[in-house]
Structure 1
Amino acid sequence: MTTPLLRRVGSVAAVAALVGTLAACSSQSEPGAYPDGPITYVIPFSPGGSSDPVGREFARMLGEELGSRAIVENLPGGDQAIGIANVLTSDSDGQTLGLATTSGLVVQPIINDNLGYTGRDDYDPLVKMVTGPYGLFVPTSSPYETLEDFISAAKSQPGELRVGTTARISDNSFALFTLEDEAGIETTMVPYPGGAGEAVLGALGGQIDAVVATASGQMGLVEAGDLRPLAHTGPTEYNTFLDGTPSFEELGYDVPFASQFMTIAPPGLSDETRQAITDASLAVVNSPEWIEWCESQSILPDNLNGAELDEFLDKADEASVRALELADSREG
């Protein structure tokens, strides 16, 4: 499938590929040039999980772009905190990089004082590669055909509708809290420690009325006619993945949460090393190969770096603080 995203990459990808090729040639000919052998790419999730492929595919392509190879190391635990801490305590030579999302980088430092990292000064965000929107899903047997149906029911029955998430403090629960605040409704959130798959089974089995989960992970059930998406986070561009289902934003609700994947490094990289990694990363995320791979996974390629990435992280911090306030008010 050729999309507007894919058509836009022609000249950018060609230039980025040339930059990457020159960098690779330089690294092979100059003593001490970056990289000095294989790089380690830490993924703070379990092997085979829904987030693992993003890190593995990006690491593979990044290694090739650098004229080297990337060795993937999975270090799950602590909502990414173990893997992220491993990256941030590595030498600042660019030989160890890692995958992270806003949940690990932004939320965990707010709620956990014992991480070993507290904020932007403790890590170097290099590039954002992917957005994975969340969706609000109901079983196809549900009486709710649209988001407005769901909201109307929630307004008429405060606290009666039960909505599954993966945890009380998670980006998908933040999406639910924010929707409640935006729409002026109250539901009962039901965290499923077994993850989105368990929550979806709860919805299909009638234990809950709806579920907020990563949209890409539910495509099979949507296509099979078991789940109905009512709305999704992220841009309107994602509508085509969900057969025209609108975004929350289109419907008038600001719900700024999704699975946002970034590559990070320890602070203190030399300017030359940081530039080499950034150039190679941009070559990857602007390439037709990366864009096609993302589309095959039902996620959106999303290239941010530099000042734009800093601004994104600032906004993510503000949104997360607000969502935590909403979560606390629910317990008050």
Structure 2
Amino acid sequence: MKSRHYLLSIILAASLIPASGVFAQAKKDEYPARPLRMIVPFAPGGASDTVGRIIQPAMAELLNQQVVVDNRGGAAGNIGVEVAVRATPDGYTFLLGNIGTMAINPNYYTKFPYRPLKDLIPITQIVDVPGSLVVHPSLPAKNVKELVAYMKANPGKLNYGAAAPSSANTLEMLAFLQVVGTSAVQVPYKGGAGPAMVGLLANEVHMMFVTFSSSVHFAKQGRVRMLAVVSPDRNPAFPEIPTMREQGLDFTVGSWQGLFVPAGTPQAVVNALFKVGTTMMKDPQVVKRLGENGIAIVTSKSPADFVAFVKQETARIGKVIKDANIQTE
């Protein structure tokens, strides 16, 4: 365990304000003086929960405090984000947000309960999460071409699991159906990708787009069949699976995750958490476990860099929704 003096030195080194300002108060209170809460706005079992639990030990070690994972799933992640937005901005509650909560939801919903870049402060991106197209093994399709042919030969027969109407996975499926010119019945699941994956394993649904990390272990066990990875290159965690592009379809929604704190959090704390957030991603166990799940580590150069990235992603997703003619709510 690293000492609190180490963390306080990070705050002082990272902050541009005098030591007599917020730093002096942080030293007096020995920030962090109590456990921190990581809000994961989805149910256990999905990519966000996986990443949260992988980074938790390394983050706790750097902070010299317990970090509690608090799953608050529901409403496409909006419930968990609202919990984070309403939290006291003192550095003891932070959000593990993703492309869905920060870039897709603002484009998808006409009535929206929070403003990502006004109600929250982006700290740093931490990972890039590739997607995958998986089907239940009972389907005869062995690749994307065969799946499309089967769907067209059996119109209206297949359905797909949807983590939420505005999730990256659902957006990928809607864009896919638009591109290949066919349809399937949407079966919604509450709480994120975890419950939807359970539905696929139980053969309640025939197929779904889902993060690679949520499907790779089941695919290797033969419990689902992975037809494609949705990323520029094959994933080293399962290199046998071709990309969507290799199979003639060049599109991706993509997914990423990052750390956010409530607006009003002191800048010294923001700087300290940025340092901790980027440092923990170099931890050997974090690198190893994320690699086993096919998740790429990507950190921001600064909090301002992450702000610019979120703005860029929000604009990009708006175009994806428009180009795919996806109906918003």
TM-score using structure 2 length? 0.77
Deviations 1:8-59 (A, max 9, x none): xxxxxxxxxx9x9843557799752362412522323467433334223424
The structure-2 alpha-carbon separation of the partners of 1:64 and 1:144, relative to structure 1 and needing over 3 Å to count, comes to same
**Pair 1:186-2:182 in alignment:** yes
How many residues are aligned here?
307
**1:73 maps to amino acid:** D
Partner in structure 2 of residue 37 of structure 1: 33
User: CA contact under 8 A between 2:130 and 2:211: conserved in structure 1?
Assistant: yes
Structure 2 match to 1:287: 283
Match of 2:7 in 1: 23
Alignment gaps of 5+ in structure 1? 1-17
Alignment partner of 1:187: what SS? coil
- Give the secondary structure class of the aligned counterpart of 2:263: coil
Q: What is the aligned partner in structure 1 of residue 88 from structure 2?
A: 91
Q: Once structures 1 and 2 are overlaid, which stretch shifts more, 281-290 or 215-224?
A: 215-224
Question: What does residue range 1-332 of structure 1 map to in structure 2 within 5 Å?
Answer: 22-24=6-8, 31-33=24-26, 35-45=31-41, 48-50=44-46, 51-110=48-107, 111=109, 113-115=111-113, 117-154=114-151, 161-181=158-178, 183-193=179-189, 195-201=195-201, 204=203, 208=206, 210-236=207-233, 239-251=235-247, 252-258=249-255, 260-306=256-302, 307-325=304-322, 329=326
Aligned to 2:317, the other structure's residue is in SS state helix
Q: Secondary structure at the match of 2:210?
A: strand
What per-residue deviation string (whole Å, max 9, x for no partner) do you get for residues 173-205 of structure 1? 101122234x34222142242632344146x47
Percent identical pairs in the alignment equals: 19
- SS of 1:37's equivalent in the other structure is coil
Q: Give the deviation of 1:284 after TM superposition.
A: 0.5
Structure 2 partner of 1:7: none
Report the Cα offset of residue 164 of structure 1: 3.3
Deviation at 1:296, TM superposition (A): 3.5
For the 8 Å contact 2:39–2:93, the answer to whether it is kept is no
Q: Deviations over 1:114-141 (max 9, x none)?
A: 51x2231221111122233221112445
Q: 1:70 to 1:24 in 2, by over 3 A?
A: farther
For the aligned residue pairs, the C-alpha RMSD in angstroms reads: 3.5
Counterpart residue identity of residue 96, structure 1 = T
User: Using the alignment, how far apart are the partners of 1:145 and 1:53 within structure 2?
Assistant: 28
Give, in angstroms, the shift of residue 104 of structure 1. 1.8
Task: Give the SS at the match of 2:75.
Answer: coil
Specify the alignment match of 1:10 in structure 2: none
Helix, strand or coil at the partner of 2:60: helix
How far does residue 93 in structure 1 lie from its aligned partner after superposition?
3.0
Which whole-Å deviations, capped at 9, do the CAs of 1:142-174 have from their partners, x for residues lacking one? 332222333455567766654333343321110
The 1-side partners of 2:124 and 2:68 are apart by: 19
**Contact conserved, 2:42 with 2:49, CA < 8 A, in 1?**
yes
User: Structure 1 residues 131 and 158 mapped into 2: Cα distance closer, same or farther (>3 Å)?
Assistant: same
CA offset at residue 322 of structure 1? 3.8
How high is the TM-score relative to the length of structure 1? 0.76
| SS state at 1:230 partner | strand
